[in-house]
Amino acid sequence: MLKGKTAVITGSTSGIGKGIAHELAKAGCNVVLNGFGDSGEIEKNRAALTDEFGVEALYIGADMAKPAQIQDMINQTRNTFGSVDILVNNAGIQHVAPIEEFPVDKWNAIIAIHLSAAFHTTCNAIPIMKGQGWGRIINIAAAHALVASPYKTAYVSAKHGLAGLTKTVALEVAQLHITCNAICPGYVLTPLVENQITDTAKARGITEEQVVSDVLLAAQPTKKFTKVEDIGVLTTFLCSESAANITGAIIPIDGGWTAQ
């Protein structure tokens, strides 16, 4: 379905981004992997995508907090593949603390990686997409783009901002065969969530088991975590021609969380 197209997926060395890269490669798309981690593991995953799906896969370790590195990543993608057809803004970090104790460096990093990075990748990719007359931008937001939870000021602010960026970009390119949408997962069991269980337990004065049952899954009426693979399939659908008239949409995949 996406044979010959090229996708940049930020934060694709782990969790949701890794799953999205897998699904896009399965659909025949060349992929640019990005993110941090063990270099051997990253290379193993890159090689597995080329072997299994016969696509090209390139790893670029750009730091999404650094605008110059973002620009280099988009340029390197275009120079290598001749196009940037699909952009998935997914890289992310989390920090959980009451606002009066929220470290300023964590605030700055979360806003930079979740929100400003999507601005910079989009600024650099849009002229290329306009030149091609086709593009898909998918921002991995969160249920926290629509509702808040305590102790996550930076994350909730960044994700609400990302929803605004999504809608604005969608309107600016609406007639150019470029769509821009946000996917809003509920809780997904990835390292990002697993790592915040301890901090949430501390902030709320409860056990880690209570965080899973009373905080995480309490928010989701289905009582099920969202699956990485399902986010990958939804992303691939948004890249299809059937989704050409879906733009500026903020799409929850959250077990009913934001329906309440």
Q: Is 35 in the site for ligand NAD (CB under 6 A)?
A: yes
187 is a catalytic site residue: no
**Closer residue to ligand NAD in complex, CB, 8/16:** 16
Of 44-52, 73-81, 184-192, 234-242, the segment contacting ligand NAD by CB under 6 A is 184-192
When asked if residue 235 is in the footprint of ligand NAD (CB under 6 A), the reply is no
CB of 90 to ligand NAD, least distance (A): 5
- Is the alpha carbon torsion for 238, 144, 210, 13 positive or negative? positive
Q: Does 232 bind ligand NAD (CB under 6 A)?
A: no
How far apart, in whole angstroms, are the C-alpha atoms of residue 206 and residue 67? 39
Q: Please state the closest distance from residue 37 (CB atom) to ligand NAD, in A.
A: 6
251 Cβ partners below 8 Å, 6+ apart? Answer: 181, 182, 183, 184, 234
Question: Residue 162 CA to chain centroid, in angstroms?
Answer: 11
135-140 and 178-185 beta bridge pairing: parallel
Q: Given the complex with ligand NAD, which of 54 and 191 has the nearer CB atom?
A: 191
Question: In whole angstroms, how far apart are CA 152 and each of 87, 159, 196?
Answer: 26, 11, 11
Q: Are the CB atoms for 95 and 145 separated by under 8 Å?
A: no
Contact flags string 5-24 toward ligand NAD, x per CB under 6 A: -----xxxxxxxx-------
Give yes or no for residue 110 binding ligand NAD (CB under 6 A): no
Which residues within the stretch 111-140 sit at the binding site for ligand NAD (CB under 6 A)? 113-114, 140
Q: Which residue out of 59, 151, 155, 187 is catalytically annotated?
A: 155
Is residue 162 within 8 Å of residue 141, measured between CB atoms? yes
Asked if residue 20 lies in contact with residue 31, where contact means CB atoms within 8 angstroms, the answer is no
Does residue number 200 form part of the binding site for ligand NAD (CB under 6 A)? no
Length of the chain: 260
Question: CA 91, 16, 184, 88 torsion: positive or negative?
Answer: positive
Residue 163 found at the interface with ligand NAD (CB under 6 A): no
The mark string for 57-86 relative to ligand NAD (x by CB under 6 A, - otherwise) is ------xxx---------------------
Q: Is there binding between residue 142 and ligand NAD (CB under 6 A)?
A: yes
Q: Any contact of residue 188 with ligand NAD (CB under 6 A)?
A: yes
Among 1, 123, 193, 246, binds ligand NAD (CB under 6 A): 193
Of 1, 56, 80, 93, the one binding ligand NAD (CB under 6 A) is: 93
Burial code (b: 16+ CB inside 10 Å, e: under 16) for 151-182 equals bbbbbbbbbbbbbebbbebbeebeeeebbbbb
Contact call for residue 187 and ligand NAD (CB under 6 A): yes
Q: How far is CA 95 from CA 91, 133, 147, in A?
A: 14, 39, 17
Q: Which residues are catalytic?
A: 155
Q: Under the rule (CB under 6 A), what is the footprint of ligand NAD?
A: 10-17, 34-37, 63-65, 90-93, 113-114, 140, 142, 185, 187-188, 190-193
